[in-house]
Structure 1
């Protein structure tokens, strides 16, 4: 296992440490550095225990379950904090100036703030475990449902449908989802070192052109997982338009392209087949070709990723 190197700026008080210190709790909170070390230690211990055993065949399920457990915990705690905020708003609206009402409002406020800190705690452990998982196995973890905030170790992640709603809200003046969207679709077989290099080259070019970009993809295996890994390394916001096979069957990968186009991307990057000559004549990946065609139909700039010139 590779050692976990805590970023230098986390070795002193962080924003999380300041947040928990401001709560005024008698019992101290663990520091951000210790929480990151905890997430790393949990994942390292799991991988060490199951390595070279019969459970190694189930490594992906077990590893993702560990990360997902903290993701689920963060969501549950955040919902409790939201309920406390709802209570705060109601108490503030009906405040009558009495001492009892003041105490009740303070208690609801304290509960909401404590919940926010606890949810952030679970997110820090989750992200550290996910970072260790990627470093150790080369695989990337993404939340199956919902959006998540990013940390110093991972980029934020949004569900495509939520991002689409935000785009529509922006048009009506209600919200602004952020910078330009760069969509990417690639063949599952394009997962070699040669493919990774060219995918990263293309994404680095896009980041230079649009520094505040968000990356949109379906999260399919192979080249799209490599793109997700790039977004985590660069701290670029990730939007996932997952293919819904339960709802759309074999058409799901193509329906996911509709969601990518609905995000109104500034540019679509596609990689229809592996660029590694060792893979032989790789059949073009239909969904990637389809995204390129949809981009043309909607007047969206699209770039096909190609091998380096000889």
Structure 2
């Protein structure tokens, strides 16, 4: 066996608090490499600067397009870098297979190995910037970015995002293995018009109470505008895992919001918060409550799940 291959990344003795920093230190590149924290700070700063410039201006109407484009640029870059690293790995395997012990082959193999490992580090660097920018986007706007193509390998968001169907499937698999153990889930549905300062205060108070009751909780919602966007913003600020049961209108049509409620109930939440209408009277729509929020409450009661409707505090 020849001794030209670089030592495994996983064999590197960790001396920092970051596996990413350990990875870059093990590359043997004489140039300094940005730390993980520096890359995340860059992602947050880029998104903050974008929002500071366009918020409350005429460009606010295309804020979502610009914000998603910024995050998507780093997502695309990570994919391109990863493909280059994959090609280097293919070359490395070919050179290793055909290795003849010559000095030229030895040098070529070392170069291909170094390129593949450097590509892995660069891919993760782009992902760190992307994820930090996406986290700031969610915290600032309540909107959740998802990749429009390709896979999203990064799981570095403070508010890690899961699709409800995936979470339900994983829970069922763990039950089948008799090893099911998941943190408590708190579900929330609220009216799209419930987006005032008073609504935000009441929603945040309720979720803060829930977090104190169940410190390892995840927040499950559909991601609808208004009250649920405020709840998503809270999750981003608190570092709470987010589970999205998206309404699939293409498949279910008008029934989509209620099918999404079925997914929320299937997650077996410890409680369901509902906000049927804005707490600001001027935002009420003909005095009617938001049907999907009421429906979730009814389904929670039928399933024996604690229902906690949010109301104005008594003055």
> Is TM > 0.5 for Structure 1 vs Structure 2?
yes
> Paired residue for 1:287, among 284, 292, 302?
292
State the alpha-carbon separation in 1 of the partners of residues 180 and 89 from structure 2. 23
C-alpha offsets along residues 184-231 of structure 1, whole Å, 9 cap, x if unaligned? 111111111111111111111111111111111111111111111111
| Change over 3 Å in CA distance of 1:127–1:282 after alignment to 2 | farther
| TM-score with structure 2 setting the length | 0.75
CA distance in 2, matches of 1:117, 1:276: 50
| Counterpart secondary structure, 1:303 | strand
Shift of 1:87: 12
- Superposition map of 1:90-109 within 5 A: none
Q: Which position in structure 1 is the counterpart of 2:5?
A: none
Residue 291 of structure 1, CA deviation: 0.8
Q: For 1:31-46, list aligned pairs within 5 A.
A: 31-44=35-48, 46=50
1:171 aligns with 2:168: no
1:130/1:141 contact within 8 Å kept: no
Cα–Cα, structure 1 residues 269 and 50, in superposed 2: closer, same or farther, change >3 Å? closer
1:132-143 equivalent positions in 2, closer than 5 A: 132-133=136-137, 138-143=140-145
1:215 aligned residue (212, 219, 235)? 219
What secondary structure is seen at the aligned counterpart in 2 of 1:215? strand
- Residue in 2 aligned with 1:129? 133
| 1:32 Cα deviation after fit | 2.4
Equivalent position SS for 1:184: strand
Q: 1:270 to 1:52 in 2, by over 3 A?
A: closer
Q: Is the 8 A contact 1:35 1:125 kept in 2?
A: yes
| Structure 2, gaps ≥5 residues long | 1-15
C-alpha deviation, 1:155, in angstroms: 1.4
Corresponding residue to 2:251 among 234, 247, 251: 247
Q: Distance in 2 between matches of 1:161 and 1:236?
A: 19
Q: Is the CA contact (8 Å cut-off) linking 1:270 and 1:292 kept in structure 2?
A: yes
Which of 203, 206, 211 is equivalent to 1:202? 206
Q: Kindly indicate whether the alpha-carbon contact (under 8 Å) linking 2:137 and 2:144 is maintained by their aligned counterparts in 1.
A: no
Q: Given the alignment of the two structures, is residue 149 of structure 1 paired with residue 155 of structure 2, yes or no?
A: yes
Equivalent position SS for 1:178:
coil
Counterpart CA distance in 2 for 1:84 and 1:243 is 42
Matching residue of 2:189: 185
Moved more, 299-308 or 13-22: 13-22
Instruction: Please state whether the residue corresponding to 2:265 is helix, strand or coil.
Output: helix
In the alignment of these two chains, the number of paired residues is 291
Residue-by-residue CA offset, 1:239-280 (whole Å, 9 max, x unaligned):
111111111121111111111112121211111111123434
Cα–Cα, structure 1 residues 182 and 276, in superposed 2: closer, same or farther, change >3 Å?
same
Q: What's the C-alpha RMSD, in Å, of the aligned pairs?
A: 3.9
2:307 counterpart (277, 302, 305): 302
